[in-house]
Structure formats: structure tokens, C-alpha cells
Amino acid sequence: MENYQKIELYLDNDRAGDLLAEKLNKLHSNVIDQRNQHKDFKDLNEYLISKKSEEQIHIEEKPTYKMRR
């Protein structure tokens, strides 16, 4: 892991994620815990699904035009 400039962690927001992030931060100075990006969700996947749903809600329908004869 020392061969990399930085390693971003996107772990679950649970006790196991806490323990692993803490352990890796102690072992490697190039580890960055990115769970603050999805702190209100169980994990990154749940966050991404919520964003996808949010985007779908905000999609505006295209106006329809009737052709004249």
C-alpha cells in the first residue's frame, strides 16, 4: 500500500468499518477515510441508489408538440 500516493476508503458506516479504518490509518499514512461522503447512509451503494432516485424525480418531461395538418 505504500506504493500508492493515497488510498481512499469507502467502507460501510458500521462498527467493522470503524475498526478497519482505524487500523489502516494507524498502519499507513496515505489512507483517507471517505465515509463522510455517505455518512447518512449504511454504505456507498445505498448513497448512490438514493442519488439515482433523486435524479429521476427531478427529470423534467420534454414538452410534446402536436403536428398541424
Where along the chain do its domains lie?
Answer: 1-44
Q: Which residues contact 17 (CB under 8 A, 6 or more apart)?
A: 11, 35
pTM greater than the 0.75 cutoff: no
Say how far apart CA 23 and CA 17 lie, in whole Å: 10
Residue 31 reports pLDDT greater than 60: yes
What average pLDDT is seen over the chain? 86
pLDDT of residue 41: 96
Q: Which residues contact 4 (CB under 8 A, 6 or more apart)?
A: 30
